[in-house]
Amino acid sequence: MVKFLMNVAGRYVALAAGLMFLWLLMSGFFHESTLLLFGVTSALLCAWLTLHMGILDEDSVPLGLLPGIFLYWLWLVIEIGKANFIVAWQVWSPKMSLSPRMIRVKAKQRSDTGIATFANSITLTPGTVSVEVLKDDILIHALTDGLADVAAIEDMGDKVCRVERGAKNPKKTGATSTHNHVDGGKT
């Protein structure tokens, strides 16, 4: 359905339809025709303003992520739950066994939205915070050795890549940084 709308009239129609749906959900007016008309008008006006300002692109209306992102969020919620228990255990244990580390993880995502999704997922998972986001890697502060699992975090990045694979442009030419693990070197 979304793909069909995109092929017919692009992001403009998808954005307007999404805004109208949001307006209906938030207001709950289904039978007041005057108010419905105002809602439709304001949704169309907002979509037109977005188009007119020139910010209607892949990053503001990321339709390419749409089918896969929900499954990814479901997986992410489970990961967040697991990491929460690890950090909560550290907080309550009488003798904390922290060993903070800075690690560097490759970000192979093609779009800015993809990199932002990856960095946000890392920060949402307690125990890892993305400190610096560069073009093809992310600097992460991890709370313990167990949480500083580069392979697991890059697996998360691969999942984001798979979600954004639906979009058109070719994949970004590979990440060139060879150091994916600095434990003390300057950036």
Partner 1 sequence: MDSVIHFASLSFFAAGSFFVLTGALGLLRFPDFYTRMHASGITDTMGADLILIGMILQSGGDWQVIVKLGFIMFFMMFTSPVSTHSIAHAAWVGGLNPLIGPELTHEDIAPDRDDETQGEGV
CA distance linking residue 118 with residue 62, whole number of Å? 14
One-letter amino acid identity for 32? E
- Piece of 2-10, 23-31, 157-165, 171-179 that binds partner 1 (CB under 8 A): 23-31
Q: 11: exposed, middle or buried (C-beta count within 10 Å: 0-12, 13-18, 19+)? A: buried
Name which of 168 and 186 has its Cβ closer to partner 1. 186
- Piece of 1-9, 45-53, 58-66, 139-147 that binds partner 1 (CB under 8 A): 139-147
Is residue 130 at the binding interface for partner 1, with CB under 8 A as the rule? yes
CA distance linking residue 175 with residue 9, whole number of Å? 34
Q: Which two tokens stand for residue 62?
A: 């990321």
Name which of 4 and 92 has its Cβ closer to partner 1. 92
One-letter amino acid identity for 90? Q
Name which of 42 and 187 has its Cβ closer to partner 1. 187
Query: What DSSP state is assigned to residue 94?
Result: S
Contact positions vs partner 1 (CB under 8 A): 25-26, 28, 73, 80-81, 84, 87-88, 90-92, 96-102, 112, 115, 119-121, 123-135, 139, 141, 143, 145, 182-187
